[in-house]
Chains A and B, each alone.
Chain A
Amino acid sequence: MNRREFLSAGAALSAFSLLPATILAEKTKQMNATKFPQPLEPKIVGDVKEFELFIDIIQHEFAPGMRVHILAFNNQIPGPEIRVNQGDRVRVKFKNKTELNHTIHWHGLHVPWRMDGVPYVTQMPVMPGEEFVYEFVAEPYGTHFYHCHWGTLLHMQSGMFGSFIIENPDDDPIKKQFPYEREYTLVYSAHDTNFMRRELNGMLERMKERMYLMRNGRFDKERFALFDSKQELLDAIERGYQPPYSLSRRAPSDLPVPNWFSVNGKSYPSTPNLYIKEGETIRVRLINAGTEEHFLHLHGHDFWLVCDDGLPVPQPWQQNTLRLSPGKTLDIIIEGKNRGLWTFHDHDTRRVTNNGLYPGGNLLVLAYEDLPDEERMVRPMKMKMAMKPGQKMNMLPKVALDE
């Protein structure tokens, strides 16, 4: 794309962003509540909190006009949020409704090793139509997540992730230091939608014939590329077996290159807003369930980094840009000290794109919902956009686009 084309595309999208989506309107705020992981209510069975998760293939929209087939826990992207107290006994009944294999790995949790969800290491994969029950005690405190550990590269970017929050309601170390009422969970991911489509189709096709053979008791180690030991693999190669990764067998052209970047399964302009009030403190739990690093920058504020991988840091420190690596969770505290509408986005702006076009991706806004009326007026914009005199902030762009 040359400079002229870039500017042209950018201008078109900016104009799109200026549609009168009202960032501070009640309707927008109500809609926004649905853009965060939905809590999964447990059933109390004795002293156990029992959760039910299932996985299925659904159609999902990252942004208006862009639908993909995706793997969804309980038909949600991300999967529902499991929230328990530290020390709770937890049971998760996981039902596989797809024709693919899956497991669930509890990322950051200290579960018994047989519950860790690594196929062929800690458990057999949960095969099509099967159910597996995970049981563990919720430890340690903090922000964690769960994800599929089968075909991880494909299954995670295809939607199989969700937040797992372990609270300590009576003695929350963060709340003690930074009293807050509201908190938000943001799950970041990156998706190569072409890789997802191609690989899901291929895997579904292969699984159809594999299931037939399994049902008929004809499991074949070479066909499934599954050996009991390295020596068994070496012996098979000696006999002429070609591993699937060899150049003469399966040679995918490239590793996935993400072209969509999502927060809670949505890309800008569908991403959630973070609402705050002047003087308020909010906690934001950041989870990177994708394969890309994100360098998240908040305009106009220095937030406190308070937890790293769920663990409270010994000494919170302030910054305005953090590095959220794949697999990491970071908790930050934002203090409402500078009212306005502020962007919160990846400063590697390649991830603020949708299919290569800016703006998009993980572009969010921190919005002060108690912004005074007089500050909702933007005269220069009014003149540019031919707005009516006296019109309020709800004619502002959905999010400020300057960085």
Chain B
Amino acid sequence: MTPDLSAPGPLAESAAAKLSLAVPCARLSLRARGAAVAPLSAALGLTLPERIGTRASTAAGDTEALRLGPDEWVLHATPAALPGLLAACAALSPEHPHSAVDISGRELTLVLEGPRAAELLTLGMPRDPDSIAPGEGRRTLFDGVSVVLWREADTRFRMDIWHSFAPHLASLLATGCAELAAETA
């Protein structure tokens, strides 16, 4: 059962969990290290988080950054904010070496929420959901596919995935919504 991914909105829903496709947003892959990080933070209007898995937002709340690796962040922003972000980064080259690549078109975001949303993840995620605190995020695997998880609350997650994997992953998550709801335990 592959849900229809052609438009944002609910994809599957049960008493246990709800799966939906988020409204598209702008996405930026940002790579930098050492002395370049502080100027980038200043230019972007947020403090690029230091610990892998932690997040930070601009004051206006239109841009959020998640640290994925030793020199890697992913930024989510409103589509309107993206050109400004790209320009701010570009202005720092070449003095502050970095890479800013627009990946808005690469991914989509699934929203998993409901009382058993964390358990829904265990269908395909080898990682312990408890190891991702609300307000944090991680790059991990789901059913063998690389995904980025944002834990918004105890019972709400966003999952960023590359487009081409969406039918496969959404189908398993939809199966899981029904399976979890059918459990009596």
Q: A and B, one complex? A: no
